[in-house]
Chains A and B, each alone.
Chain A
């Protein structure tokens, strides 16, 4: 199971709690995790990644294992601790605006 932590507003949109669990087939990458997330919660499509480019929206960041993965390749393997479910994958709203 992959554990994913969503920001407050996306939890409300998807009507889920702070952390959700997803089945993700190998390889476990940012792309496959987000694909699985959007398949389970289609209302999140377009809110994390741009519909057309599939790139991260500018004011969101991705973290795991105390590392900022925001600018890593979406197809790079996520840390083993994320793939094993020991650590969650974080989608975080940037601290900007108000």
Chain B
């Protein structure tokens, strides 16, 4: 019978939740790396027992960890992320130029073909790759130096490269997203990049309607069977592209608010997508104190609230950008973690939910592995 492993990064350590295919009873191990912020934990699709983790701390900086036994034991790996070439300047919050400086690793994306290859998205925004299982990291300079970097500025959480997507049908096509620069695409395995932000609504009235960058993209998701279709949760606005990011259309439709962080796609239904609406950029909690996942079965525009098993009063948690994932079982499971320390799971595509962990530290990231 298949099993599911949920990898949870929190503000005070990592947790590994496991269950059989029924997804009714869960074992929780952890905290791993207790006391450290774990921005992201993700397993290799080539070797699911190979898991990479980003461990960071205001005191001790960045540490990277790797497990080769499914998260039971861990070993520190290389943690030096050195910008290559001339380190230029980006815009700071006040519009003044500021030199790039490494702060932390936000996101890890293991290669689809090689368990020793893994990409890292970092703050200040840049893309790194390791080809030796994380022992050493090299910057993919074509990303940071693609030509618009002097116009990039941090979002409220920092200038982070937080999303990395690899087209499973042609690995040379990759996407990244940066807050608050926007989305970018490479068609040559990460050597060169260009902005793909045409059609994204401008955040401010009077802003340049033709700006190439300057968009606070929160998350992008794709379904592996249709990699040219992208779904985006922007700071405000839920968007979709049907042409690999060449242009975007808004699909917020009847959402109660189109602000939010995560977005994900059903494992078997490429037009079924999920978001968690948040009241506003200054009120990071669900509208009306009701934690509701919204599901669209039409690729956007028409949304239904999923509430069964979720708190429907006095709930003021947030769900961060990397804190939602799906499994690949026949009845697709959907998972998300909250800043209140709950991890919710639905074994039936979102119809009913239950908390599979209730009292963790604030959840930063959730990934799911479906194991044979």
Contact = CB atoms under 8 A, between A and B. Distances in A.
Interface residues of A, number: 21
Nearest to A92: B59
Given A46-B62, A47-B63, A9 B57 contact: yes
Interface in B229-250: none
Interface string A64-98: 00000000000000000000000000000110110
Q: Which of B35, B62, B79, B82 has the most CB of A within 10 A?
A: B79
A59 interface: yes
A64 to B, nearest CB: 20
B59 A46 contact: no
A7 B79 CA distance: 19
Contact of A47 (B34, B60, B82): B60
B63 A43 contact: yes
B311 interface: no
A9 B60 contact: yes
Q: Which of B36, B60, B62, B76 has the most CB of A within 10 A?
A: B60
A60 interface: yes
Interface string B73-84: 000100110100
A60 B63 contact: no
Mostly, the B contact residues are loop
B46 to A, nearest CB: 25
A27 to B, nearest CB: 27
B79 A57 contact: no
Interface residues of B, number: 14
B59 A94 contact: yes
Nearest to B35: A9
Contact of B79 (A10, A46, A48): A46
A63 interface: no
Nearest to A48: B60
Contacts of B34: 12
B34 to A, nearest CB: 8
B58 interface: yes
A45 B80 contact: yes
A96 B59 CA distance: 9
A83 to B, nearest CB: 26
A93 to B, nearest CB: 5
A14 to B, nearest CB: 9
A45 B82 CA distance: 13
B30 interface: no
Interface string B168-179: 000000000000
B256 interface: no
A63 to B, nearest CB: 15
Interface in B270-314: none
A52 B60 contact: no
A9 B80 contact: no
A39 interface: no
Interface in B41-81: 57-63, 76, 79-80
Contacts of A57: 59-61
Nearest to B75: A43
Interface of A: 7-10, 12-13, 43, 45-48, 50-52, 57, 59-60, 93-94, 96-97
13 contacts: A9-B60, A13-B63, A43-B63, A45-B80, A46-B61, A46-B62, A46-B79, A47-B60, A47-B63, A48-B60, A57-B60, A57-B61, A59-B59
> 9 smallest A-B Cβ distances: which pairs?
A43-B76, A47-B60, A59-B59, A93-B59, A51-B80, A46-B79, A46-B61, A47-B61, A97-B58
Given A45-B79, A60-B59, 12 more contacts: A7-B59, A9-B35, A9-B60, A13-B60, A13-B63, A13-B76, A43-B76, A46-B63, A47-B79, A51-B82, A57-B59, A97-B59
